[in-house]
Structure 1
């Protein structure tokens, strides 16, 4: 089945299912990505992705790896729906010759789709990041208290005992995405949910510009003929390669977005006054390598997400649901 033959409602269903399955599979890696990106030099709690996951399970339990997953699972379907619908809409209007799209027009369609999806992506990421980063902040706080206590032991054992007797290292206050959203709207209005919008655009627009044309061209290489679709495994690999390539390419923008959207800061962690201020402070204090933090994690997250999406299209889950339910009138 070719891409052109797939109805928009079926695409939306496929995209939504792919997003839910993909998020469930790779969310722990996404959590590690957020925590690694938010670390500053000299205040590292985690050494690597595996170290982050192991420490998270030890301190927060297995489900600690899924902090913020609920908001992602709730909003990933409308996000995918907007992205796919927008991409199809702009591809249709740009291909007025009936000869298919040039790479430039594919990039334009991807650009427009990326600009549309931030309506959902920005608040989704904003809420998710607060929940994902809570464990890192708690671990950093505990590490700081332990180090302070050790220093006091070295200087004055009696003072240390009296100091330690009053220390209470509390677990992070359990909050939900709903609570965070409510507080943001009450204090900052709806614009509070769109903090980091500029950085999200900087990430998602170039991502779509890279991903859609790259996937289309890679997938075309595997087609036996122009009229036939590529094999299952080829579509999966094309989605993975295009997704991971685009993810690594825009990782610097993702680092900036993550830092800007983090409302709670750890000990001695600086605040930022916009994209330019964030970029200059990261460059000055942490160097260019800081913009690659979490790049490997991000590639591991994005690759299966888009590979799974292509599998859903190939198998035709959306078409099956539409053909065997009262929703079939939507595909007419």
Structure 2
């Protein structure tokens, strides 16, 4: 169990490193003003960041999700595992466990993402408002109290509860229909990540907009629905899919990084796990719900880091 957790955290960190540049592009596109956009699309955004901020611009704000990996991993690991003991091993049970885990971990991921998002969009040099994630949260706490630190919590729950549910249910179904080999597991994780994003992406756009609201002027939105309605009215339905292509592209390289690191950790520290990493296709159904093998744990880690940050 301890090895599962360590593998999850290390895999999660690998996923953050690989996925963060895609995430930065996504956040910049989501939060730009549609009436006078700075970027024409994902490629233009990427080129602009490299040109004006160098490579480090793509990794801005990454320390926040890296710091949150262990805590969020522990919450999802605990909530999902305990719920599965009660609900069993059916597809709907995995979906329900994911929904519950997604809701609970939002309490931690919301402030983590708030700091990440603000650091990703803040200006250069003297216009930088925050020196890092802790400074960002400290300033918000001082200025707005706990409400400031948890800004966007409601939209984070609305995003993560269905997204985690869809991810776990679809991952489980995809794994059971295939060979169970490493490539199949990686593809299943990537595809499940894509499906979960398709379901939750509009909420993610609203969350990002709420979390950066007021950084460069007066606040424009009073809450989730106000932001959604105003965004739609001013920029049309397309605003809710802005940056989606960058996010979907992220799913597969991120899952590949996660899977590689998780597999490496198990092979390095637990030789008996080698067989579990190549399970027989018909054996997956018979894992008792309380047993956390590498393959099952991979699903937990992959949703955390591919979908989550």
TM-score bracket for the superposition, by shorter chain length: 0.7 to 0.9
What SS does the aligned partner of 1:250 have? helix
- The question of whether the paired residues in 1 share the 8 Å contact of 2:25 and 2:46 is answered with yes
Q: Structure 1 stretch 25-34 or stretch 182-191: which is displaced more?
A: 182-191
Counterpart in 2 of 1:164?
Answer: none
Closer, same or farther: CA 177–82 of 1 in aligned 2, 3 Å: same
Aligned length: 273
Please give the per-residue CA displacement for 1:311-331, whole angstroms capped at 9, x wherever unaligned.
Answer: 455x261574478xxxxxxx9
1:107-256 alignment to 2 at 5 Å? 107-135=95-123, 171-173=127-129, 175-223=131-179, 230-256=180-206
What is the CA deviation profile of residues 3-53 of structure 1, one whole-angstrom value per residue up to 9, with x for unaligned ones?
xxxx3x233222211111111112111001000001122211111112112
Q: Quote the Cα distance in structure 2 between the aligned partners of 1:64 and 1:316.
A: 30
Deviation at 1:261, TM superposition (A): 0.7
CA distance in 2, matches of 1:170, 1:112: 42
**What is the alpha-carbon root mean square deviation over aligned residues?**
2.4
Shift of 1:293: 0.8
| Shift, 1:74, TM fit | 1.2
TM-score by length of 2: 0.81
Q: Which has the larger radius of gyration?
A: 1
Instruction: Decide whether the 8 Å contact of 2:91 with 2:172 is kept in 1.
Output: no
Q: Deviations over 1:47-74 (max 9, x none)?
A: 1112112111221122111110111111
CA distance in 2, matches of 1:239, 1:308: 11
1:59 equivalent among 36, 52, 67: 52
User: CA 1:289 to 1:37, structure 2 compared with 1: closer, same or farther past 3 Å?
Assistant: same
Partners in 1 of 2:137 and 2:239 — Cα distance?
29
Residue segments in structure 1 that go unaligned for 5+ positions in a row: 1-6, 96-100, 139-168, 224-229, 324-330
Contact 1:34 1:294 in 2 (8 A): yes
Structure 2: gaps of 5 or more residues: 272-291, 293-309
